[in-house]
Structure 1
């Protein structure tokens, strides 16, 4: 922008108007943009914080990649896949698993859960199960010969069971036997060796872990496996490793990353984030409408000045620039103030946790925030862009004034 246009725009913006209401509307516009920008920055940073917490919980417990199929894998297929995985430097650890549903029957209560058969010696390398144990220790074989089972804290509470208690597990074939009425349900006895708390209610209330050989006997899958779980050196590489494995493993093999396993959850979070973004953008939009009104009244008030400038040879295009710059300055002022306020609130939350959460209810002590500078850039660009566009109508109106008409009554 030329210097003269910027100079005139600053003078118009800083000078007192004969109609004081114009100053008030301009101030309201700046305040509206400031509030909108600050609210957007804080809201998006909070969403980023919760997203990071959820990801940490899921990735800290789940495998990074899961390989499975509609049918089961036999021992030869598992050995072949493990040989291929062993040569990949991005894969930190892997282990076969068995998955199925069963009913846990305790003394007073029962519940249908997902039962995972895992390798006791390799589970710590591919999953966060061992780190989440709050009572007992992982042991799938005890001195009495009873198979061990590891259950979630919420599930233990539901079954009114503790470490050392015996529970029975009814397999799907056991259900069929019971329904036919021809024989008693097929069950296996297990002793609770440990209780875990993953901070994921689905796992804590709906999953149980046993040894692979016990799961094979329970589900009548001798020599068969459901799939292989992988742990990567960096979970952010999960998508690229998945693409590579799709070319290396047999066609039709199902490969899911940690994100794929919880895609519905992330979809909901993404919708919530965009909903908040759109709603808070309305604050900025309303502020820009106020700015249209104040600039339009400013054009009416300054029609004599505009007439003089046009009579002195200033082109309509340069007149347009004057008011476009004025709108840009209003938007920039509100944006800068909003960013400063937003950063201040986020800094206080990070350092002093001014918005705490109840630790007995939540797994974190305060509302989490995570600053992404890309959000700041995008919001600043959108805010100043809207302000610039909002000034277009008043600017075009000013450029369309006829000098003789503007000066007639002066």
Structure 2
């Protein structure tokens, strides 16, 4: 919709407050602010929801792989054969054996439930960027050294160099019953994954040490698998699942974390719908301000019609005046949303300081900080939706102005 210089001049004149039109200008300003806040809220909430999903996916899958192959009974004896089959499967990028067992950890009289996790040397080194104290290099087979999560270290009061005792209830049998197996390990490193549950529970050790602790011999607990496309992991591993039917089960990340990711998906859709309604309500202010503007300018419109202005020109003038309010509000909201996301941690800390409340408890919210990841396609959809709502809100007042009969308006002038 291209405006002529005459139409653009009139449109600009109507967008600026005139004498006796302060109230109309106020309503138009409120419309702009309301659209901006609605768009900003949509951008912030959707980016945070996307950030939640992406961060949880990256950290959970980064530690547990896209899928696991686990034997019935929890012990995979012929794991080397299964590992070779998995690695030979097309689109599988990596596969490695893993032991993971819930046990107890003790230090200075404190006891916590832990997950003893036995990894290959290659997998242990992948934790390197997450280490916040100590080093992973001492974690060698039979060296008696482990790495623990940051929250577990805090709960037990552990520091690098301290010894944590891992208690396995399945110990040796004696005439007096089963004696739990207790082995002390030196803490060589403390890591922070960023997911509270992992940082609170995991004790990572070399594979051979985990087999010794659990009296597992040469068996492993499972094989973790990475694939090229996580969303197609079930399809990619279908041949493996079919071959291992009756001996082992293949479980992908969607199944393991189904309740969490499904809840996030439902909440994401619900928040988008609710906040879209807020934007829709905001553009009703544009409708009301344009209706008032048309009523205030009825005489001017009639004079323009007698001077030769066409109905099409008047339609374009009022659509432009209303649409620009919506467009300015949309892009202002976009800017506000990005500013808030950039300073989101500072905003959270400021609100916590003012209210005295802990708004971001990692034990409840899984992640240690507020995440954010903006999707360009989603941002574009939000902008298009706000602009479309704004355009639709201008149609009725614009058609009302275009249908003004100058004879009826000016007959008594």
Q: Deviations over 1:279-328 (max 9, x none)?
A: 65566444322211111112222333545667789887775554333322
Q: Deviations over 1:112-153 (max 9, x none)?
A: 22222333x34336x5268537336313414xxxx5544333
TM-score by length of 2: 0.72
Extract unaligned runs of 5+ from structure 2: 351-359
1:228 Cα offset (Å): 0.6
1:400 Cα offset (Å): 5.5
Gap change, CA 1:74 and 1:402, over 3 Å in 2: same
The corresponding residue for 1:114 is 115
1:354-373 counterparts in 2 under 5 A?
370-373=373-376
RMSD: 4.5
1:329 Cα offset (Å): 2.3
The corresponding residue for 2:397 is 394
> 1:61–1:129: 8 Å Cα contact kept in structure 2?
no
TM-score by length of 1: 0.73
The correspondence for 2:77, drawn from 75, 78, 95, is 75
1:6-405 counterparts in 2 under 5 A?
6-7=7-8, 9-14=11-16, 16=18, 18-38=20-40, 40-41=42-43, 44-45=46-47, 57-58=59-60, 61-72=63-74, 74-76=76-78, 78-87=79-88, 91-119=92-120, 121-124=121-124, 127-128=126-127, 132=131, 134-135=133-134, 137-142=138-143, 148-161=145-158, 163=161, 165=163, 167-171=165-169, 173=170, 183-198=177-192, 199-216=194-211, 219=214, 221-231=216-226, 237-250=229-242, 253-257=249-253, 261-262=256-257, 264-266=259-261, 281=276, 284-307=279-302, 320-340=315-335, 345=339, 370-398=373-401, 401=404, 404-405=407-408
SS where residue 192 of structure 1 aligns? strand
Gap change, CA 1:79 and 1:193, over 3 Å in 2: same
Gap change, CA 1:405 and 1:85, over 3 Å in 2: same
SS where residue 179 of structure 2 aligns? coil
Gap change, CA 1:373 and 1:200, over 3 Å in 2: closer
> 2:104–2:111: 8 Å Cα contact kept in structure 1?
yes
For these two proteins, the number of residue pairs brought into alignment is: 390
> 2:139–2:205: 8 Å Cα contact kept in structure 1?
no
> 1:107–1:167: 8 Å Cα contact kept in structure 2?
no
Gap change, CA 1:282 and 1:73, over 3 Å in 2: same
Cα distance in 2 between the residues matched to 1:276 and 1:84: 44
